[in-house]
Each structure stands twice: as C-alpha cells, then as structure tokens.
Structure 1
C-alpha cells in the first residue's frame, strides 16, 4: 500500500513537472525554417519589462472594454499592450473582441506594428489556426495584416501540418497586399502554391472565401438591408477577384516574376494560365521561344499550361465573355455602350503552345525536371542564405517595439501627471480668486462699476431695482429715522455694587442705617 502511494505521488510530481516545462518552453516542430528563425526566446523577453509584469490582463481587458463602450474610442497603445500580455484562450477571445471594437473606432487608421504581430503569434502559440484564418480573411471587420516574418511562420507551420491549402491562403493574402519583398516569404509562397498544385487534382473549393455571406431570405417582398460597405461597381481585377483559381494563379505569377530563371518563368506560365490571362501567356511563350537558351522553360510547366487550356470552358464565337461563378461583377464591364472585345480563341492558343513546345524541344530550351523539387531546392537555398539576416533584423525589431512601447507609456504617464497637476492648480486658483472677490468686494465694487458700459450699468441698476437689492430706506421712506450710535464716553472706575440698581439701593440703605 505504501509502495503504491509513493508510486502515484512520484507520478503526479512528474506529470506536473512535465506540464510546467511544456508551458515554459513548448516543444515545436518545423518544416523548412530552422528553429532559431522563430525567435521564441527573444519574443518572450517582451514580458520582462516592469509594465508587463505588473499588468493584470483580465482587469486591463475590463477597463479597455468599458472605455470602448462609453467613449467609443481607445488608444492603439492599449490594444497593443493587451495583445502582448494575452496568453490564454479566454484572453485570445477577448482580444478578438477588442480588435473588432478598435476597427470601428475613430483611431482605427492609427495602428502600431507590434499589435498585428503579437496577435498572430498568440494564435500561433495557442494553436487556434482555423480562427486566425477567418480573422485574416475578414479585413473589413478586423483589419489584421501580416508582416513578412509572421507570414513566413504561418506558411511554415501549415506545411508542417500537411495543410498546403491553408499555406496558400497566406500566400494569397501577401499577393493581395502586393508584398513579396522578402525573399524567404516569396519563395515560401512559391513552394506552397506548387505543393498544392502538384498534390493530385487540386480542389479549388478548399481555397474558397472563409467569410460567410449574409443570406437574406426571399419572402417575395422588397427588403432594405443595411450594409456597412458598398461594393465598387468597377471590377478592379485584384481585390474584387473572388475565384480561388484566379487568386491562386495571380499569386503564382506575381511570386514567380521575381525570378528571371527556369523556376520563375515556369511559375509565371502556370500562373497566367490559371489566372486566364491568355494574351500575357502567349507573349511569355513567344519570349521563351525567342530567348533560345538552354533551360528556358520546364517541360512539366508547359504540359500543365496546356492541360489548363484543354480544361477551360470554351466560349462560342459571338457570345460575350462568361463571368466566373465566384464573382458578382463581369470581368470586362461595359462602359459607355462599348461592347467588350471578342474572347480569345483558346483552340488557336493551344495549337500555338504545342508548336512552340516542339520548337523549344528542338533547341533544348524546354528541359525535363520536377517542378516541386525545383521549388523546394530554391526555397531551401533562399532560407539558408537569408534566415540569419532576417532573424537579426526581427530581433532588433522586437527590441525596438518594446522600447517604443515603454517610451510611449512613460510619455503618456508624464502627460497625465502634468494634466492632473494643472487641474489641481486651476482648482486652487479658482478657490483663491473666489475668496479674494469676497474679501475685497466693497473695495473693488466702484472699480468694477466704472468698467461697465452705460447700457450695462443701466441694466444692472434696473435689475437691482426689480429685485429690491438697491432699496435705501433713507431715500425711499422719509419717515424712517436712522438710529444714531452714541459716542463712547471716557471710562471711569465704578464699583461692582454700583453697576446694578438693586444692589445700589440695598447698599445705600445699609449706609444710612449705620449713620
């Protein structure tokens, strides 16, 4: 019995110790990025400041929510502080609520860079990736944007979880912001797109929008629905694009444009095919043919492009371009009565692509190779070449955010203290002024009356006569006699018994009796 008790006691101690160690230093798995790139230890140093150590997240949330509800406004610094302090699932839910409040406030355009990054890292550490994807997709409601470092972390995490479709969502988000300046983020986006494209027959419904549309029941009556955002009737071919295949193709095309090599041209060709930009794809094929160099284009990419042409629905001649079922606006709007141009003859383009392919095979411009292997090799080389620089830059950025936050808090505290001291001094000054006016009222009354204009003076006299405050009995009532105060006489000593008449009379009788 004692042995069993000791065994269970040791088991509980080991279990609690394992749980505590997991909370302090959680075990992480990585796909392509090295463990040092994630900077987990550097990120935790933000909590070592006195501000973060003394702050209570729940109490701070209550005060922040109360301020939003009462004044409809709050400081962006407060939202950033709460985003950095939050560490649990309940606090993450509160942070989503606060972010929604913040996006409807008057200071929504004034945001701090650390706020977005802290939000993403919190959900990444808690594992709430599905909710994070929904928040990222709903920009009008939450307005959450990714930086290069956070986007790289998310794509690497989704690749490790064998979820290439969600990694593609992050790449599409970067494409919509037209932000492929970071080589690591750009090549990770290429690798994610190619992994999703070559993992069998891609299901484009997996990339459909996560924002649930507002469904209005059809009752046969005219219903006026309140909408926060009015859609621009002009189709901009970027933010208005809703077809997942078009978004994927444009992402692959924009990420591939940064590489003027075999991988870049191959990705551009596939991307333009999925994006259904047939004129640009035809120009790209002609350019590859005229280049005439060995290793200009992958044979696999040309085959994928021709499969896309074969599977694209052909538009009969004389009919307008059919819009995508995912898009509510026509691809080429009719403006000013001008009819849209005739659709591209895809059969002719397919024959032209086959002819260019044969010509490029003859001059060895078209080479064999595996597109996924080429993309994986490219991203590994890019990470190996740039990860240390990116990590050092991000570490300095973390320190800059912490220093900026502390400096701003100190500045606001000094400003608050000065304002409170000025209010206190103003209160004391008002009290002294009121007391001075009471003490020196009669001395200054004539001076104040002299400063009045004739009209104001007459108004004052009329008001005094109306309320009786200026009634003088010596003038208004001749029968009234003012009692005069007698002048004081010279003091002389009087015995005590002479001060009272009764005592005086008794004393006189006593003196007369003895006589």
Structure 2
C-alpha cells in the first residue's frame, strides 16, 4: 500500500475522532429555549436610546467619572449593563457595581440592572463569577429575580454542577422569596441532588479568613461592636444554608415531598427542637404517607452524630433520634423520591412556564418605559437647575450694576463694610506686624528714560 494513502487515512480518522469530541453531551434540562425570552430580551437593543450607545466610549466616560469621584447616576450603570455584549467587560462591570454600591445612588438601582448583570454573566459563560457577586451582597448589591434564578439553576443542572445550583437556591432562600412554583421545584431538585455528593461545595469559615496572617494595621475606633449572629445572612456552612432552604421551601408544600424536605432540612440545619415539634405534630394529626421511607437513611447519612449515642449528644438530639426511630413504624411513602422530585419540576414547568414567559415579556417592555421616564425626569431636573443658576447669575450682575450706579450715594456705607471686613480678617488672622526695615523702605524713583 502507498505510504501517502496510509497517512491520508490516518488524518481522516484523526479528524473524525476530533469531530466526535466536539459533539456536546446531552444533559438534563427542564426549561425550554422559549423560557429564556431571548427574542424579547434582545428587543431592548432596538430602543432609540440603547441603539445609539457606543459601549466602549460610554464605559470610558463612566470610568473617568468614577476615577474623578464624580457621582454616577444609577440609570447610567443600567444603560451600560443593558448595552454591553462583549466578554472583555466582565471585570469592569464588577468594578462599576462596587463603586455604585459605595454611593447614595445605590438605592436608585433599577430592577433591569440586576437582570441585565445576571443574563450578561450567564451569556458570557461566567456563571461562577456571577455566584461570587451574588454571594457578596454588601459590596455588589445584585439580586436575582425569579426568571434569573430559574435560568441560573437550570444552567448548572444541565452541567451536572449541583453544588452551584444548590448555592443559587440558597440565595433565593436568603431573599425569602418562594412565590414561584418553578423556582421552588428547581431549588428542591438542586439541593436534593447536591446532598448526594456534599463534598463538592467547600466553604471557608469567615472567622478563619479574618485570622489569616496579614500586614498589621492599627486603626483607632470609637467603640467595639459586640459579636452578633443573625442566623440568616451570617450563615456560611453549606449544610446550614441547604438545610434552611429545604426547610422553608418544604413549608410551602403540603405533601410528602414538602414534609420530607422539612424534616431533612431541619436536621441538616441542626434545629432539633423545631424538628421535635414537627414530628410530634405529624404524629398527633396521624398524617398518612408522612415522609418518604428513604428519607430516614438519608437523614442518618446527613447527621451521623445524632444517631451515635454518647455523652456528647444533647437531650434534644436524643429525643429527636427516638422520634425519627418511632417514625419508621408509621405510614411511610414507598415511592421513589428522585423520580417524584423530577416529576415535580416537570409539572411546575408545564403548568407555569407560559405564565412566566408572558409576564417577563411584559416586564421587559415596562423596563424600557421606566428607563425613558427616569431620563426625562433627569433632563427636566438639569434644566431646572440650569435655570436657577442663570437666575442667580443675573441677580449677581444686577447687584453689581446697582452698586456701581449708587456708589456715591452709599459711599459711607460701603467704606464701613470694608472696615468691618478688615476687622474680621484681623480677628481671624491677627494684625500684620510691620518690621522696622519695612518702615524705612523707600521705593526707587521711576524716571522716564531719555532718548539719547
């Protein structure tokens, strides 16, 4: 066989194998392409305002204002975040959001700004960077709406990154927003699948980060704050965050999935007293199919310390253990928890996705009107301030003209004002002492130079 033909065949096989590598793997996803409302979202760029914005020039203008400590209106940040489509502005957007957060304009941040930031980071493939921004609410102040939560969780679920999906669900819990059935279902699905491999989410203790060796800087403070833990925004352990998310979402559901989530969430969250009250309530009400049968071994896996009797276990842990053991003898659901949670998401999407799409398209249109209304109001305010400044200038000019025209009539009054001003300056700066040398100083005579 010709050696050239062999090489050609090898190259063809190599190309074929490379093409197979490029074929994306099909992953589970719950939301359709229509749910992204991409066409309606892109229509914002056809607006008469946004279509005229040059992103590069506009960013330079914003950055110059920020560097010069000039207050940047929140509407300008909104316009920029809604216009930007290039990947090279990921860090710049984060910096602008942080600078905005440090000014009084942060209270005027538009809802469309939050939405635009989230969608931009997802579209640019920077979802992990977005999680860092969402988690640092104090420095960035970005919060998702329901559509963004759903898109973000679905994005991570498709990648089988359940730790990031669960982290997104905890942000929704911290905002205490549980009105959207699709968001609730996706949050339960994300947390449930994340708990199958909880080691994928590693979070450092904030106190440990504070105690890391740094350059010693001493700052005088007026007083020291007493340590305070609010049991909500101060939560950092993944088990606590996921547990509280399952607990609170489970409370919105009156079925076996909701009860199973409540019980598992409370144990993860180490709220044994609340778990005891809940178990006693279910027992008194004689609820049928109270929880899934597989929930109990899952709880034993989540909190193995609670099921190990010893001196270190608390009274509430022991009582909770007895009630859970007693729960095994009651009427439990033998269904498949994984399948039922998956079906819960599918049903929620089928029932509510069209409603979410319709509402979101309407919201996009409203945001355009709100943006234009704010700009018109700002334009009117600038015109008003300009008119007031012009009036002040005219008044000042008239006063100066009046002073000139009436100078000889008010000469004594003017001289008195000058003397009073000099007296005030003496009081402020002290009387200027003239030295002997200065007193004897005689200025040279200026003689007219004669032409030779």
1:83 aligned partner: 81
How far residue 234 of structure 1 moved from its aligned partner, in angstroms, is 2.3
Q: Secondary structure at the match of 1:412?
A: helix
Q: Given the alignment of the two structures, is residue 376 of structure 1 paired with residue 338 of structure 2, yes or no?
A: no
Deviation at 1:399, TM superposition (A): 1.0
The aligned counterpart of 1:276 is: 270
Alignment check: 8 A CA contact 2:82 2:113 kept: yes
Q: What is the CA distance between 1:100 and its match in structure 2?
A: 1.2
Residues 475-515 of structure 1: CA deviation (Å, up to 9, x unaligned): xxxxxxxxxxxxxxxxxxxxxxxxxxxxxxxxxxxxxxxxx
Relative distance call for 1:287 and 1:61 in structure 2 (3 A) is same
| Distance in 2 (alpha carbons) for counterparts of 1:75 and 1:217 | 38
Counterpart residue number, 2:203: 208
Alpha-carbon shift at residue 265 of structure 1 (Å):
0.4
Task: Please give the alpha-carbon distance, in whole angstroms, between the structure 1 residues aligned to 2:300 and 2:417.
Answer: 98
1:117 corresponds to which residue? 115
| Distance change in 2, residues 1:239/1:58 (3 Å) | same
Aligned to 2:232: 238
- Where structure 2 has 5 or more consecutive residues not aligned to the other structure, the ranges are 1-25, 424-452
Measure, in 1, the Cα distance between the counterparts of 2:417 and 2:304.
Answer: 98
Calculate the TM-score normalised by the size of structure 1. 0.69
- Change in Cα spacing, 1:268 to 1:49, as seen in structure 2 (3 Å) is same
Q: CA deviation at 1:386?
A: 1.3
The 1:126–1:196 alpha-carbon spacing in structure 2 relative to 1, beyond 3 Å, is same
Counterpart pick for 1:40 among 38, 49, 58: 38
The alpha-carbon deviation at position 357 of structure 1 amounts to 1.5
- Structure 1 residue 123, shift from structure 2 partner: 0.6
Shift of 1:378: 1.2
**Residue 353 of structure 1 aligns with which residue?**
324
The corresponding residue for 1:412 is: 378
Q: Name the CA distance, whole Å, in 2 between partners of 1:47 and 1:235.
A: 45
After TM superposition, list the pairs within 5 Å mapping 1:38-437 onto structure 2: 38-197=36-195, 199=196, 201-203=197-199, 206-208=201-203, 213-214=209-210, 216-217=212-213, 224=218, 233-312=227-306, 317=311, 343-344=314-315, 346-358=317-329, 360=330, 365-420=331-386, 423-424=389-390, 427=393, 430-431=396-397, 434=400
- Deviation string for 1:235-280 (max 9, x for gaps)? 2222222221111111111111100111100111111111111122
CA contact (8 A) 2:266 2:274 kept: yes
Change (3 A) 1:457 1:51: closer
Structure 1 CA distance for aligned equivalents of residues 407 and 363 of structure 2 = 66
Q: Is the 8 A contact 2:55 2:80 kept in 1?
A: yes
Post-superposition offset of 1:157: 0.8
Q: CA deviation digits over 1:35-81, x for unaligned, max 9?
A: 21110000111111121111111211122122222235211111111
The number of residues matched between the two structures is: 394
Counterpart position of 1:5:
none
Aligned residue number for residue 435 of structure 2: none
1:482-501 alignment, distance < 5 Å: none
SS in 2 for 1:153: helix
Deviation of 1:449 after TM superposition, in Å, equals 5.1
Contact 1:158 1:166 in 2 (8 A): yes
Residue of structure 1 equivalent to 2:7: none
> Partners in 2 of 1:397 and 1:74 — Cα distance?
25
Unpaired runs of at least 5, structure 1: 1-27, 322-342, 464-515
Superposed displacement of residue 159, structure 1:
0.7
CA contact under 8 A between 1:286 and 1:356: conserved in structure 2?
Answer: no
Query: Once superposed, what is the RMSD of the aligned Cα atoms?
Result: 3.3
Q: What is the CA-CA distance between 1:223 and the residue it aligns to?
A: 5.7
**Structure 1 residues 62 and 313 mapped into 2: Cα distance closer, same or farther (>3 Å)?**
farther
Does structure 2 conserve the Cα–Cα contact (< 8 Å) formed by 1:76 and 1:107?
yes
Q: 2:410: which partner in 1?
A: 448
Structure 1 95/30 Cα, relative in aligned 2: closer, same or farther at 3 Å? farther
User: How many angstroms apart in 2 are the aligned matches of 1:351 and 1:215?
Assistant: 40
CA gap 1:344/1:223 in 2 versus in 1, 3 angstroms: farther
Structure showing greater radius of gyration is 1
